[in-house]
Structure 1
C-alpha cells in the first residue's frame, strides 16, 4: 500500500478504491434487486419472502466479514465517524422514521434510486436529485438549524458509548451462522442462487470499503477517513462540487457514486432491463418528491441512509446506526400498512 500511495497519491487511490467498491456494489445490487424498502413491504404484508432474504443475506455478510476482520486484527474502525464522533440518538430515531416513510413514498431507498436510475428510470433520477438537494440543505443550508436542533435533543459521546457491543469471535461466528440461515431461508422462499450470491456480494462491497480505506489510512502520513459505502453525503458532495467547483475534490465518495451507476448500468444492459420509465397515473410525481425530501433530511439527521447506516454503520456495531435502521423499518412498515389500508378502503367503496 505504501508503494501505491507513493506512486498515485492518497486522493487518486481513494477515488480508484471508491470506484472499484462502487462497481461491485452497483452490479451486485442491480442483479439481486437489493432494497430495504422491498424487504419492509414483505414484512408489512406478512409475506416473508425473497426480498427479505436478500436484505438479510447482505446485512449478515457485511456484519460477519467486518466483525471477523476486526477480531483478527485486519481492521480498525475506532476512528470511523459512526463511532469516534459525538452521535445523536434523537437524530437516529427521528431521521430513521422519516427515511422509512420517505422510501415507501418514493418506492426505493437512496441506493435503490441510484441503481434504478442507471437503467433509465426517470422517476428515480428526479427523486434522487430532490433527495440530494434536501440533504445538502439539511447539512449546510436552510434546513441545517432544524437538523441541529433535533440532533441535539439526545446525544451520545464518541468512543465506547457509541458501540452496541465489542467485536468478538463468537459475535463474528454468530453473524456467519446468520448468513448461512439467511441463504437457506432465501432458497426456501424462492430466491435464485445467483441473486443470493449477489446479495452476499453487496455485503462484501461494504466490507471491502472498510478494508481499503483502513489500509490507505494506516499507510498514509495524511489524515484519511476510514469509511465504507454510503450515498447521501457523497452524492450531495459530488453534486455541489459539479455546480460550484472548477475541479472535483478527490475522495472515496467521488469514485463510489459513479462506480455504482456504471456497475448497475452494466447489469441492466446485460439483462435487457434498461428502458426509459416516466411518471404516470400510478406513479404520481408529488409522492416521489415528498419521499425524496423526507429521505434527504432523514438520512442527514440519522447519520446515514439505508446502506450508510443500515449496512456500513450496522456492520461495525455503531449504536446510532442500529437505532436508525430499526426506526427505518418501523417507519416503512407502518407507512406501507397505512397506505395499504387506505387503498383497500378505497377499493371497497
Structure 2
C-alpha cells in the first residue's frame, strides 16, 4: 500500500502527510499533558519532584522504550539517521545545549512549547517563536553560520559506533528498551504520587509515541523509495525554518516530513485547547517583558542549530535512538536551564511553573 501511495503522490507528499498526522498527535498530546521541559526544570530547581517533571519523564522514557523496542523487534532501523551516521559535534552539543537551556528559561518555553502555546492564543509565544526561527536560519545559513561552525569544529565525533551510545556501552536495543520501560513505570508512579490526572499522564506517553511513529514513518518510506530519503522524527527548529523560508521565498512549500509536522502540531494543539476550554489570548505585559523573551529566543535559535536539535529533537527524538551528542545536548540543556532558573530565583520571586 505504501508503494502505491508513493507511486501516486510521490515521496514528498507521503512524508508530508505522515508529518501532519504525527504532528496532530504530538500537538494534542503535548497541549493536554502540558508537556514542557522548562516547567520540569523549574520544579527541580525549586527542590521538587513535581507533576511537570513526571510528565516530561513519562514522555522521554516512552519514546526511548518504544523506539528501542521496535528496533529490537526489527520493525525499523535507525542507524542511517543523521544523528548517528554523520559526524557530530560534542562541543556543539555542550555549548548549544547550555545556550538553549538558558534561552528556554528566559522565553518560558522551548521551541515545541512555544509552537503549542501559539496555537492556544499565546501571542508572546508566537512572536518569540518567530524570532527563534529567524535566528536559527541565520545560524544555519546566514551571518551567524561562521560562529556556529567554529564552535562546532572544536570537538568532533565521527559517525557510526563512536556516536551510538549502544555501541559505546555495549548495550543491546532490547536491554535499552527494558531499562526505559522500567524508567517509564517509575515515572508513572511519580505522576500518580504527585496527583497527575490519568489523562495527562497518558497524553505524555502519547508524546513519546509520536516520536516513535515519526521514526517508523520516515524509515518505512526510506525502505521502499528509490530516492534517498533522510530518516528523522519530531524536531522543531529545522522544520520551522524550512516552513517559514518556504512561505517567504516560494509560492510552494517543499514537501517533506518536517513541513507537515509544524502545521500538524499547531492544529492538534489548537483543537485540543478549544475542546478543553484552555484557549485564551495572552500578550506581553509588565511581568512578561518582551526583551527577556527575545533574548531567550535568540539563545535558543542559535543553541538549537549548534547542538543539532531542540529539547524535543535532541532530547526525545535523538535520545530515543541513543545518539551520544543528543544525550550530551539534553544534559547540558538541563544544566543551562537550572543555572539560569536559579539566578532568576535569587533576583526575584520564582515565576509560576505553568508554561
Q: The TM-score by the shorter chain falls in which range?
A: over 0.9
Tell me by how many angstroms 1:344 deviates.
5.5
In structure 2, C-alpha distance between the alignment counterparts of 1:165 and 1:44, rounded to whole Å: 30
Alignment-derived partner of residue 334 in structure 1:
339
Alignment-derived partner of residue 38 in structure 1:
39
In structure 2, C-alpha distance between the alignment counterparts of 1:159 and 1:56, rounded to whole Å: 27
Partner SS state of residue 227, structure 1? coil
Aligned counterparts, 1:56-95, within 5 A: 56-95=57-96
Aligned counterparts, 1:316-331, within 5 A: 316-331=321-336
Tell me, yes or no, if structure 1 residue 143 matches structure 2 residue 144.
yes
Give the alignment partner of residue 218 of structure 2, picking from 213, 218, 224.
213
Q: Which 10-residue stretch deviates more, 139-148 or 168-177?
A: 168-177
Alignment-derived partner of residue 288 in structure 1:
293
Alignment-derived partner of residue 131 in structure 1:
132
RMSD of the TM alignment (CA)? 1.0
* Ranges in structure 2 where 5+ consecutive residues have no aligned partner: 351-355
In structure 2, C-alpha distance between the alignment counterparts of 1:9 and 1:63, rounded to whole Å: 30
Aligned counterparts, 1:195-344, within 5 A: 195-343=200-348
In structure 1, C-alpha distance between the alignment counterparts of 2:227 and 2:57, rounded to whole Å: 37
CA contact (8 A) 1:19 1:259 kept: yes
Tell me by how many angstroms 1:86 deviates.
0.6
Partner SS state of residue 249, structure 1? coil
In structure 2, C-alpha distance between the alignment counterparts of 1:2 and 1:161, rounded to whole Å: 34
In structure 2, C-alpha distance between the alignment counterparts of 1:15 and 1:80, rounded to whole Å: 18
Tell me by how many angstroms 1:177 deviates.
1.4
Corresponding residue pairs, total: 345
In structure 1, C-alpha distance between the alignment counterparts of 2:48 and 2:3, rounded to whole Å: 50
Q: Which 10-residue stretch deviates more, 113-122 or 269-278?
A: 269-278
CA contact (8 A) 1:63 1:316 kept: yes
Deviations 1:238-287 (A, max 9, x none): 10111111211101011000000000000110111111110000000000
Alignment-derived partner of residue 176 in structure 1:
181
Alignment-derived partner of residue 111 in structure 2:
110
CA contact (8 A) 1:49 1:190 kept: no
CA contact (8 A) 1:18 1:255 kept: yes
* Ranges in structure 1 where 5+ consecutive residues have no aligned partner: none
Tell me by how many angstroms 1:190 deviates.
1.3
CA contact (8 A) 1:163 1:319 kept: yes
Tell me by how many angstroms 1:178 deviates.
1.0
In structure 1, C-alpha distance between the alignment counterparts of 2:228 and 2:245, rounded to whole Å: 23
Tell me by how many angstroms 1:180 deviates.
1.0
In structure 1, C-alpha distance between the alignment counterparts of 2:204 and 2:39, rounded to whole Å: 14
In structure 1, C-alpha distance between the alignment counterparts of 2:247 and 2:46, rounded to whole Å: 42
The TM-score, its normalising length taken from structure 2, stands at 0.96
Tell me by how many angstroms 1:7 deviates.
2.4
Partner SS state of residue 222, structure 1? coil
Alignment-derived partner of residue 187 in structure 1:
192
CA contact (8 A) 1:93 1:323 kept: yes
Deviations 1:268-315 (A, max 9, x none): 101111111100000000000000000000000000000000000000
In structure 2, C-alpha distance between the alignment counterparts of 1:113 and 1:3, rounded to whole Å: 37
Tell me by how many angstroms 1:343 deviates.
1.2
Deviations 1:134-159 (A, max 9, x none): 00000000000000000000000111
